[in-house]
Structure 1
Amino acid sequence: METARHGSPLVSVIIPCYNHGAFLPDALESVRRQDYPNLEIIVVDDGSTDNTRTVAENSPKVQYIYQTNKGLSAARNAGIRHSKGQYLLFLDADDWLLPGAIKTNANYLQQYTDLAFVSGAHEKVYVANGRILDEKTTVSASHYEHLLQGNYIGMHATVLYDRRIFDQFLFDESLPNCEDYDLYLKIARHHPVLHHTEKIAAYRLHNSNMSGNIPGMLQGVLKILDRQKPHLKTDTEKNALKKGRRNWKNYYCQALLEQLKTGTNKSKAATTIIWHRPELLFKHLVTRRKTMLKTFVKRNAPDFSLRWLHKMGLSKNHVPAVGQVAFGDFSRTTPFSKCFGYDRGGPVDRYYIENFLALESENIKGRTLEIGDNAYTMAFGKTRVTKSEILHVNDKNPQATIIGDISHAPQIADNSFDCIILTQTLHLIYDFDAAMQTCHRILKPGGTLLLTVPGITPIDQGEWKETWYWSFTDKAVQKLTTKTFPEGKAKISSFGNVFAATAFLYGMGLPEVPRHKLDHHDPHYQVIITLKAQKALS
């Protein structure tokens, strides 16, 4: 096996390509941008008739291999035969790797040398509408049983294999699809594997994806599972396979049902659903009749009855006619509360803030700094916190352990904290850039900043009214984070909708607001923006 002088094993990135020359440059560029020092890139042209050869041969440091069209499995096996790496990664030509992907997975294989492969999370990129969806599944043990229940890996490029496994297994060239899932099951049945939730790759969904043939994919995946039946040793494994068959039927038949609703491939979709999940088709037909009735009611019923249906949850998209809006208790120019709803059970925005901290609670640990008090540190950090520090701008707070301004705090040493909780504070600091720079400076490498800022909000009428300078959007926080945490990892989210924003502006208390209305997210009405930023390890 080849190893660089600095000790990094050679990683072979094998890119099978069949008429995806238009996508290939993105895939190649994503490999070249990896921070892993010892790579070889192999493009296997599976009989393409487009410009695949030209793109590959004009790309630096790419080994180009041509074969007559034999299918994806054969192309991957050809890549294995021509590769020299100790670790192998298979990247489809229409997908790409995310920054740090190879280094992340290679570190796992170097740390746990008995692993046959390691896999991670990915993101789905929907080309038609530009939507990006994170795909993360936590699996820490019993990988074979979990794979029997479904392909939790989801995307092949997130997998990095140890080469030795291909002395025992190769991709099955008789399979028209699902050959990667077949390989995962074979390997996990005999060897230890590992899965993590760090994002490794992006899966591009477009019209020419193989996975777009839903009936074919369902037939293929059920065949793969049936191959495992002779190898099942325990009742747990047998039950896992039965559950897997149900899961795959549900998954693909639901997708076919969406095709029926849009009028796409109606005959083939209906036939497949009838064969595997006939009750879904029956429910669809019943629902369709109900929908037709609702449409008739909406077109012919008077406005007061439509408003009643909306309140009952039976007409979710009802919009009153011009001049027919019923303002009710909102028909006023003053809020119900002038203190954010504290006098009515607590502020609406705290729902989003505390949900965010609960979700990220595992990062509240070690030496933790919070502004003003340490209520959130104690509530969400619990025993993970070894030392809780409180920063306050002056000495009026007897709980404070550090006195100072977060935007200029030279008295706090560099690399001091494992976690900083900075909730609803940045808008009170005129030089918020400097405050973020301080947070980055005083965090330890790998430490986490958990920050929330207001978007749509009333302005405080009490203590903070003279220093309430800003409101934010997720785009503003993204720009700020890129500048102040340039090498770290960041996750930015926004929460709220028009109802939540209105309730918050009027000062309604959290107990007065139905939770399901708060949980609906509309990025055009951002009440709270959250940031999880991690300082780079080096």
Structure 2
Amino acid sequence: MVPHNPALVSVIITCYNHGQFLAEAINSVLNQTYSPIEVIVVDDGSTDTTSLVASQYPDVHYYYQTNQGLSAARNAGVRYSKGDYIVFLDADDWLYKDAIAIGVQHLTQNPDAAFVSGGYDNVDVHNKQLGGVNDAVPTGHYLHLLRGNYIGMHATVMYRRSVFDTYQYDTSLKACEDYDMFLNIARQHPVMHHTHKIAAYRQHQSNMSSDYSLMLTMALAVLSRQEQNLRNEAERHAYRQGVRFWRDYYAGEIYRRLRTNQYASEKLAVSKFLLQHSPTLYVKYQLMTIASKSKSQLKNRVPLFVFRWLHQTGLRPGFTPSMGKIRPGDFKRTTPFSRQFGYDRGGPVDRYYIENFLQDQATLIQGRVLEIGDNAYTLRFGNGKVTKSDVLHVHSGNPEATFVGDLSEAPHIPSDSFDCIVLTQTLHLIYDIKGALKTCERILKPGGVLLLTVPGISHIDHDEWNDNWLWSFTAASMKKLLAEAFSPDHVDISTFGNVFIATAFLYGMGVAEVTKEQLDQHDPHYQVIITAKAVKSPAL
């Protein structure tokens, strides 16, 4: 609700060669739901179209000064202003329509607060949203500011005019002058923060905040000014957190840019700056540089352990130790970690491939479905599309079985009956493989599909299936076998695994002990699992 005698709000737009954005910033103020508002544009020595753009708005107060920097421009704007409340808006940003109304409401309801801040959206030069910032900070604002600048965008702040009777922007600071102001005020006065998004912060290459070396230097310099004012251990701890935060944040951005070659001729100076503030990232950058070079370029000047580390971290995955230099580690043993296929270590590695295959083919598990042994996968991946679930079991007495017998010789199973057959990790237990596949083709409806998985590289079970484990397969063998039962054009075969996963599986490691990245690297030289989709030819 707008007060009966609403207070005047001054919006000070500072501009230095951002004339191309200025109109959008001015319009965002003129279109506010709140009034009265005065708009002041302080041109800090622009040489572009800034003055021309401002002149097109008769209600905007335009002031020009020789280039003196952002702090001086903001201080000048305060002197020119008359409002009870003050908002600073950079010319390349803009306010949402209710920004001023929300700020006035909060300060009216909280007369002791020196300023109130809110949330914002990051946008690119084309106004595409890049994500929002609207974290809640209900109390302890000074401690939060010691840990980092939670406000982030100056246009989200509305000040009481009385603040500037005591404080002004420090013109000696090349950046972070707003952070300095926030800290100084919050040290002495109550402040507020809300989560309404009230402004858009445009990201582009000419942003001062994209100069990470400058920003880190200034952020640490501003923060260090508070050190002598710290009153207790909580504030000292927050201060130390802030130092780490700024170093980690900006050093991380510098490292990212170095890795992507965005510094060109400045690379040497920037890398030295990185060494000063984050030796760990500096070393990582240098190792990354090593990783990008060939062995001939390095001329044997790099120790073997560096290459090994680069390989383990993924920076140089092609590293191969020379003969006699391999370290077997935990694999230097003649017995596996487990003889239970990894069931006792988080689950079998090969199940990852089997279940991913069935998930990818889940739309085909529908209608009447036959599964061997039990119907767990039918129920799991059928997802309500299955109208009838049948189970074939080799032994009688199984309560789930609707058919009993050997798949290779099953005349009692009617022909042309099933929309889908789920045959996972079973074919290696059947002596007459060809007979089993011919049965599958016979009992499928025209257009029905067989979803098949078989083991490739595997250890051999010597417990339950000791006398029945007869075969292991390759993609080539499955292609030939299926081509004898189905049309070759209707057979799709894939392999999964690599040398590490094959080794891990043989040693009995569980799926929880390997990473998704390791699992998803497929090398046909090491076929742990072979999958096949075979479709019965439609009726003529």
TM-score, normalization by structure 1: 0.55
Residue of 323, 326, 329 corresponding to 2:358: 329
Residue of 30, 33, 37 corresponding to 2:31: 33
**Counterpart amino acid of 2:276?**
W
SS in 2 for 1:91: strand
What does residue 9 of structure 1 align with?
Answer: 7
Q: Counterparts of 1:98 and 1:331 in 2: how far apart (Å)? A: 45
CA deviations over 1:172-225 (Å, ceiling 9, x no partner):
111111100000000000000001111011111111111122111111111101
What does residue 217 of structure 2 align with?
Answer: 219
Kindly report which structure 2 residues correspond to 1:32-51, keeping only aligned pairs within 5 A, or say none.
32-51=30-49
Q: Counterparts of 2:244 and 2:123 in 1: how far apart (Å)? A: 27
Residue of 92, 95, 114 corresponding to 1:94: 92
CA drift at 1:66? 1.2
Q: Counterparts of 2:240 and 2:126 in 1: how far apart (Å)? A: 35
Residue of 200, 203, 209 corresponding to 1:205: 203
Tell me if structure 2 keeps the 8 A contact 1:337–1:343. no
SS in 2 for 1:247: helix
Tell me if structure 1 keeps the 8 A contact 2:291–2:316. no
**Counterpart amino acid of 2:68?**
K
Tell me if structure 2 keeps the 8 A contact 1:74–1:171. yes
Report the CA distance shift for 1:342/1:23 in structure 2 as closer, same or farther (over 3 A).
Answer: farther
Tell me if structure 1 keeps the 8 A contact 2:362–2:381. no
CA deviations over 1:339-388 (Å, ceiling 9, x no partner):
xx99649989xxxxxxxxxxxxxxxxxxxxxxxxxxxxxxxxxxxxxxxx
Kindly report which structure 2 residues correspond to 1:19-30, keeping only aligned pairs within 5 A, or say none.
19-30=17-28
Report the CA distance shift for 1:335/1:154 in structure 2 as closer, same or farther (over 3 A).
Answer: same
**Counterpart amino acid of 1:82?**
Y
CA deviations over 1:229-286 (Å, ceiling 9, x no partner):
1111111111111110110000000010011011124223211110010111222344
CA deviations over 1:277-314 (Å, ceiling 9, x no partner):
011122234456667866986899xxxxxxxxxxxxxx
Tell me if structure 2 keeps the 8 A contact 1:128–1:206. no
Tell me if structure 2 keeps the 8 A contact 1:158–1:200. yes
SS in 2 for 1:88: strand
Report the CA distance shift for 1:132/1:247 in structure 2 as closer, same or farther (over 3 A).
Answer: same
Kindly report which structure 2 residues correspond to 1:224-303, keeping only aligned pairs within 5 A, or say none.
224-263=222-261, 264=263, 265-286=266-287
Kindly report which structure 2 residues correspond to 1:348-367, keeping only aligned pairs within 5 A, or say none.
none
CA drift at 1:41? 0.2
CA drift at 1:336? 4.7
Instruction: Give the total of aligned pairs.
Output: 324
Q: Counterparts of 1:296 and 1:120 in 2: how far apart (Å)? A: 44
**Counterpart amino acid of 1:69?**
N
Tell me if structure 1 keeps the 8 A contact 2:41–2:54. yes
CA drift at 1:161? 0.3
Tell me if structure 1 keeps the 8 A contact 2:365–2:382. no
CA deviations over 1:383-403 (Å, ceiling 9, x no partner):
xxxxxxxxxxxxxxxxxxxxx
Q: Counterparts of 2:38 and 2:117 in 1: how far apart (Å)? A: 20
Q: Counterparts of 2:26 and 2:267 in 1: how far apart (Å)? A: 38
CA drift at 1:162? 0.7
**Counterpart amino acid of 2:198?**
I
Q: Counterparts of 2:70 and 2:82 in 1: how far apart (Å)? A: 20
What does residue 191 of structure 2 align with?
Answer: 193
SS in 1 for 2:225: helix
What does residue 151 of structure 2 align with?
Answer: 153
**Counterpart amino acid of 2:210?**
G
What does residue 164 of structure 1 align with?
Answer: 162
CA drift at 1:129? 9.5
CA deviations over 1:99-155 (Å, ceiling 9, x no partner):
211111111001111110000011111337945211122211111111011000000
Tell me if structure 1 keeps the 8 A contact 2:123–2:130. yes
Q: Counterparts of 2:281 and 2:316 in 1: how far apart (Å)? A: 24
CA drift at 1:327? 8.3
CA drift at 1:55? 1.0
SS in 1 for 2:200: strand
Q: Counterparts of 2:127 and 2:114 in 1: how far apart (Å)? A: 37
Q: Counterparts of 2:149 and 2:316 in 1: how far apart (Å)? A: 43
Structure 2 unaligned regions, length at least 5 = 294-310, 321-354, 368-376, 385-510, 517-540
SS in 1 for 2:201: strand
Q: Counterparts of 2:156 and 2:221 in 1: how far apart (Å)? A: 24
Report the CA distance shift for 1:200/1:131 in structure 2 as closer, same or farther (over 3 A).
Answer: closer
Q: Counterparts of 1:138 and 1:132 in 2: how far apart (Å)? A: 20
Tell me if structure 1 keeps the 8 A contact 2:13–2:89. yes
**Counterpart amino acid of 2:88?**
F
Tell me if structure 2 keeps the 8 A contact 1:123–1:134. yes
CA drift at 1:47? 1.2
CA drift at 1:334? 4.6
Larger radius of gyration: 2
CA drift at 1:328? 3.7
SS in 2 for 1:221: helix
Asked whether 1:110 is paired with 2:108, we answer yes
SS in 2 for 1:22: helix
Q: Counterparts of 1:109 and 1:246 in 2: how far apart (Å)? A: 33
Q: Counterparts of 1:148 and 1:68 in 2: how far apart (Å)? A: 34
Structure 1 unaligned regions, length at least 5 = 301-325, 349-511, 518-538
